[in-house]
Amino acid sequence: MAQLGPYEGQFKDAGAELIFVAAEKRDGMFKPEGFLRKHPTAYPFLLDEDRSVTKIYGVYHKLGTDAINIARPATFVIGQDGIIRYIFVGSSQTDRAPVDDVLRAARNAK
């Protein structure tokens, strides 16, 4: 959210919509439900409590040196036709997709 949210206008101009997924329980370690109540977002936000979505997309990370039972940071751009046009899967919990690449993919996904 923090990385892509500030570019909301540019994504809208590209005809794209941001949707966020977090592999976490509502009352999990970082208390995402409470955070989202205090800091509402204009974007759809899915708390993937059972990790089913992150497993389907192949980004579930059961155990690693920097993560336990969570998703790898990942960005997908999906065209209006339902075809995945861009994939970025981080190599660590701090590795994120370059914003310029995501915007370019969103513009080209029409």
DSSP string of 41-93?
-SS-EEE-TT-HHHHHTT-EEEE-SS-EEEEPPEEEEE-TTS-EEEEEE-SST
43 or 97, which is more confident: 97
Domains of the chain: 5-108 (3.40.30.10)
**pLDDT of amino acid 61:** 86
pLDDT in tens, 59-77: 998 887 777 888 899 999 9
Provide the phi-psi class of 15: left if phi over 0, else alpha when psi is between -120 and 50, else beta.
left
pLDDT score of 1 more than 80 = no
What tokens appear for 48 in the block?
A: 């993937």
**pLDDT of amino acid 5:** 83
Confidence (pTM): 0.83
pLDDT in tens, 17-42: 889 898 888 887 778 888 888 988 88
pLDDT score of 4 more than 90 = no
Neighbour count for residue 49 (Cβ, 10 Å): 15
Instruction: Write down the mean pLDDT value for the chain.
Output: 89
